[in-house]
């Protein structure tokens, strides 16, 4: 059985209902659970993972819904774990963008889940929480957290860019040290990203070389600029992603590291905020099985 955990905001979407009915007509056994409270996605995922009837769990929503579903499955403690699929119905759909999962055609997204065998992929772990896409810190975190939900409804992913540009004059740096396997850096930074996958903040390609099955996290740090150069540099970041300010960045590839800051570090994990004076990142290699389009560029072997 395929269990879809559907965010309440999209439960009445006609295209989603039609897509589910088409797959049922093709012979697929599909059940749907609609969330009501913020904790429902994780709770429904735990319940589904512990059911012997459910073989695949689908996150129907945005990156936050996907994070909650992955977290619930991993917390369930039940083995073998069900495979995971994504029906991207959020504002940014950053993980889906990186994986080339269509976000404008629910039927096409569900067909990937029904027709493509799942492949093992990595999961990021930060303190006691999981993430599957990209974790951001500093300026990027502020933008994601402070973007108005109503603005996101009207502008979609462009709302993150508008919010970021409007905050450029008030950007401040954070002091922190980064240390781990192959990582050593200390100083003041404006933004950071830890990529299991590639996109964050509504389509900004933060980690263009990231792969989701290589057992590696891609870390980049944007050090503090001279005051006169901050607005231009951050504008380039929001418009072009990492490539817009490539010459200014410090980057590492690692499987485990720690960020320490006396003033605390603000981190965004797949859309969910976290703040701590000590943040420990590591990768959990090939922890889950995910249904991806054939030839996904996020895989080591893109012919899979």
Q: Could you give the CA distance from residue 216 to residue 133 in angstroms, rounded to a whole number?
A: 13
Q: How confident is the model at residue 256, as a pLDDT?
A: 98
Report pLDDT digits (tens) over 104-116. 999 999 999 999 9
For residue 50, pLDDT beyond 90:
yes
Report pLDDT digits (tens) over 279-289. 999 999 999 99
Q: Does the 2-115 domain belong in CATH 3.40.50.2000?
A: no
* Positions marked catalytic: 272
- Contacts of 165-169 with C-beta under 8 Å, sequence gap 24+, read 165/235, 165/238, 167/139, 167/142, 167/143, 168/230, 168/231, 168/234, 168/235, 169/231
List the domain boundaries for the chain.
2-115, 129-284
Q: How confident is the model at residue 201, as a pLDDT?
A: 76
CATH annotation of 129-284? 2.60.200.40
């Amino acid at each position: 059985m395929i269990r879809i955990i559907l965010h309440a905001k999209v439960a009445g979407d006609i295209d989603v209902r039609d897509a589910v009915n088409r797959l049922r007509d093709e012979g697929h056994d599909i059940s749907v659970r609609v969330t009501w409270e913020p904790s429902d996605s994780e709770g429904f995922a735990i319940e589904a993972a512990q059911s012997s009837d459910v073989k695949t769990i689908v996150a129907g929503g945005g990156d936050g819904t996907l994070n909650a579903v992955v977290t619930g499955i991993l917390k369930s403690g039940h083995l073998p774990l069900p495979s995971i699929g994504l029906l991207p119905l959020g504002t940014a759909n950053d993980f889906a963008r990186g994986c080339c999962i269509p976000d404008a055609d629910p039927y096409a997204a569900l067909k990937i889940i029904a027709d493509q065998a799942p492949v093992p992929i990595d999961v990021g772990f930060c303190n006691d929480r999981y993430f599957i896409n990209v974790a951001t810190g500093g300026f990027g975190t502020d933008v994601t957290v402070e973007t108005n939900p109503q603005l996101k409804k009207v502008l979609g992913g462009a709302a993150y860019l508008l919010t970021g540009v409007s905050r450029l004059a008030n950007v401040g740096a954070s002091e922190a040290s980064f240390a781990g396997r192959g990582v050593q850096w200390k100083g003041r930074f404006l933004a950071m990203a830890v990529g299991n996958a590639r996109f964050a903040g509504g389509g900004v390609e933060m980690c263009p070389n990231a792969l989701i099955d290589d057992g590696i996290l891609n870390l980049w740090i944007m050090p503090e600029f001279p005051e006169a150069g901050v607005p231009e540099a951050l504008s380039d970041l929001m418009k072009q992603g990492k490539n817009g300010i490539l010459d200014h960045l410090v980057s590492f590839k690692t499987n485990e590291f720690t960020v320490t800051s006396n003033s605390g570090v603000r981190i965004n994990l797949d859309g969910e905020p976290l703040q701590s004076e000590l943040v420990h990142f590591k990768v959990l290699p090939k922890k889950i099985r995910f249904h991806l389009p054939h030839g996904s560029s996020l895989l080591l072997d893109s012919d899979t």
